[in-house]
Amino acid sequence: MNQTPTIKISCKNLNKIYRSKKTEILALQDINIDIADNEFISVVGPSGCGKSTLLRIFAGLDEATSGDILLDNRVMTGPGSDRGMVFQAYTLFPWLTVEQNIRFGLKLKKMPKPEADQIVEKYLSLIGLTDFRNRLPKELSGGMKQRVAIARALANKPEVLLMDEPFGALDPDTKGNMQLQLRELWENEKHTVIFITHDIEEAVFLSQRVYVMSARPGRVIADIPIDLPQKRGLDLKDTQEFIHIRKKIHRLLHSRDFGNNLHATN
């Protein structure tokens, strides 16, 4: 029996205009998307199409000019601990150790120490950095730092994880490993993930659904369900099915006449 999925985040007729004294930039135009609870979705699109803007609005760090964001069917009004964010640039606190960075949000929440200890241990072990717990960020590689940033976000148990090109600065091998780890994390403890990238392969590998955006003004030009096995290894990227979807999204992104491609099926 088909069950209708619960919608976690819904975006209704959303527009974003950046205004200054001299200029007006229509960054996002009429965005309508529904993201199901525990769904992993990616948003791909050319540079400047409004991906980060959209994510910041989801995080409550920026406001839409018009339209609504519904979180659990209620209009979202600002930032909240129900949403965790991982940015492209490494945003660890440089004066705190790996362990202290992961513990940071739990301390803010005044979580009792034994409970916080358990969570910190769990995520240190999940990201494979237990032996690095007392190191400072400057002593870590880029991939390690990003693993700590993800652990720090996850330790707060956000219902929604918002990720803005978190692996953009990593070398291809580390990037592949991080994708695998993130996908495994999501398979093991489901939560809703909104992942921004301009790497089509990354989007297809990680997601259950990929939204494709046009160049500015950013509009959603396609919504592609990724019908690939749930359990994914990196070798999936070499399969015909994977390459087929990747090429389809590539064509959509590089087509000048988006309108004609909205309903492209292959």
Ligand X SMILES: Nc1ncnc2c1ncn2[C@@H]1O[C@H](COP(=O)(O)OP(=O)(O)OP(=O)(O)O)[C@@H](O)[C@H]1O
| Residue 204 beta carbon to ligand X: minimum distance, rounded to whole angstroms | 18
Sole binder of ligand X in the list 7, 17, 18, 258 (CB under 6 A): 18
Strand 74-75 with 7-19, pairing: unpaired
Closest of 157, 144, 183 to residue 84, by C-alpha: 157
Angle between helices 113-126 and 98-108 (to 10 degrees): 140
Tell me if 27 contacts ligand X by CB under 6 A: yes
Near ligand X by CB under 6 A: residue from 14, 50, 140, 147 = 50
Pick from 53, 192, 208, 214 the residue near ligand X by CB under 6 A.
53
Strands 40-44 and 209-213, sheet pairing:
parallel
CB of 25 to ligand X, least distance (A): 5
User: Which is nearer to ligand X, 175 or 232 (by Cβ)?
Assistant: 175
Encoding tokens for residue 232? 């994914």
Which residue in the shown chain puts its C-beta closest to Mg ion? 52
Interface with ligand X, residue 52, by CB under 6 A: yes
Closest separation between CB of residue 174 and Mg ion, Å?
20
- Choose the contact partner of 48 out of ligand X, Mg ion, none; CB within 5 to 8 A by kind: ligand X
Cβ-based neighbours of 262, under 8 Å, separated by 6 or more:
221, 222
Is residue 31 near ligand X by the rule CB under 6 A?
Answer: no
Q: Is 169 in the site for ligand X (CB under 6 A)?
A: no
User: Is position 240 an interface residue for ligand X (rule: CB under 6 A)?
Assistant: no
DSSP result, 193-212: EEEE-S-HHHHHHH-SEEEE
Q: Does 29 bind ligand X (CB under 6 A)?
A: no
Greatest CA separation found in the chain? 58
Which helix (H) or strand (E) is 178 found in, with range?
Answer: helix 172-188
Q: Binding to ligand X (CB under 6 A): which residues in 115-154?
A: none
Question: Rule CB under 6 A: is residue 266 a binding residue for ligand X?
Answer: no
* Binding to ligand X in span 199-238, by CB under 6 A: 216
**Interface with Mg ion (CB under 5 A):** 52
Distance in angstroms (rounded) separating the CA atoms of residues 76 and 60: 8
